[in-house]
Amino acid sequence: MRLKKINPLRWKWVLIVGVIAACWAVVSYMGPTPWAESEETYQGLKLFSDVIELIEKNYVDPVDSKDLIEKAIHGMVNSLDPHSSFLPPEAFKELQVDTRGEFGGIGIVISLEKGMLTVISPIEGTPAHKAGIKAGDQIIKINDESTKGMALWEAVKRMRGPKKTTVRITILREGTGEPKEYTLIRDIIPIESVKHKVLTPGYGYVRITNFNENTTRDLTAALQELESGTDGFKGLVVDLRDNPGGLLNQAVEVADVFLEEGVVVSIKGRDKKHNRTYNANPDKVKREYPIVVLINEGSASASEIVAGALQDHKKAVIMGTTSFGKGSVQTVEALRGGYGLKYTIARYYTPSGKSIQAQGIVPDIEVKPMILAEKEKSKTASGLFREKDLKNHLEAVPGKEEDELHSPEDTGPESKRPDSRSRFGPIDVEMLKKDYQVRRALETLISFEIFKNIRG
């Protein structure tokens, strides 16, 4: 009898299914298992291998099986929630670089605005800044390759590289007409997450733009400098607006800088091994001065952990607008072939037990940014989004819809987000004093000092 030749890819999936089946058999021997779910998964894998084989054999154009499988995994993971993703080797490397203290590059903060690769801000003192790259510039080519349709991580990867190597970028600047090409020599770019200034004698300002490996160290150094002023230190503004988050351990340590004891944040997942409570420890320097923390809808994840901890422990007044509401914990696993898997394993809870997920941190004092030359707009019109607006977002508590949970009602239309470009550039004290939310924070600190003196 003649045997039918089986496609090698088919053999691979048959082997995978066989191994899984063998594992289930072992588990069944060791104890009870939900057989219905196991059988459903088994049938699903068989269906998947059938689809791959049919497409590979019969699709109108030749297909790359590896590419098909990658895209299938992408779709599977992306359907879980907005923060889980399957990372190809290049993206996995970039994710690892983003949490370190420095990298080789040209020194710009970029984003995709209306589908165009746009400079948010050049970093002071870097090759891009020295060459005259400006906020708002659109990067239309990198080394003669069009950036149209290019993913953000791909653009970042092409502009980063070893020190003293060159990269060419073509810029389109509003009002100048013709594109202009820049040849830049890469340098080591420090990821500066903490900046500080004296707002007025006795009152300091610290901006934390993200949480990387050096954040706590840099914050401590900034506070030491501010606190050593000759005028005596009376109060601090901590600006977490538009801070998207970063490393969990750094968020815990930053909160611990201001706390002496108690829970900073707790983590609870489906698997008990992921449950953990992080506590504050006594500090050598006790910071008893009043603190105002500024947050907005761009403050997410690690920023919300810090704000929530200081709010629950009544260590700071939280001012601004309700934060983003990204209260889920992701872990990153290295996979074979240089791939990575980032997926959600738990939810964050503030010291009082409140879930941050899809709810955010509600400020003690709501202060919207001042709008000049236009009326306030609704959230839909202004384009502001929070975690709860994202497709497939996790619920605040497993099994409960958001409308079942207590959440303060909206107090009115949201204000338009202020221009975030100033967050990444050097701090200008005069510009800070024109920032309505910073002014209100400073006024609150000064008022506290006045009342304290009145009361003796």
Catalytic positions are 301, 312, 326
How many angstroms separate the Cα of 47 from the Cα of each of 14, 71, 102, 237?
A: 11, 16, 46, 57
Cβ(349)–Cβ(398) under 8 Å?
no
- Alpha carbons 52 and 433: distance in angstroms, whole number: 61
Would you call 62 helix, strand, or coil by DSSP?
coil
Token couple for 247: 């490393």
- % helix, strand, coil for the chain, step of 5: 35, 25, 40
Phi, psi of 136, rounded to the nearest 5 degrees? 95, -15
Residues 6+ apart with CB under 8 A from 272: none
Alpha helices (runs of H) in 283-427, residue ranges in sequence order: 302-312, 379-382
**In sequence order, what DSSP letters do the residues of 85-102 get, joined into one string?**
EEE-HHHHHHHHHHTSSE
Task: Work out whether the CA dihedral 364, 370, 376, 381 comes out positive or negative.
Answer: negative
Q: Token pair of 178, please?
A: 């013709």
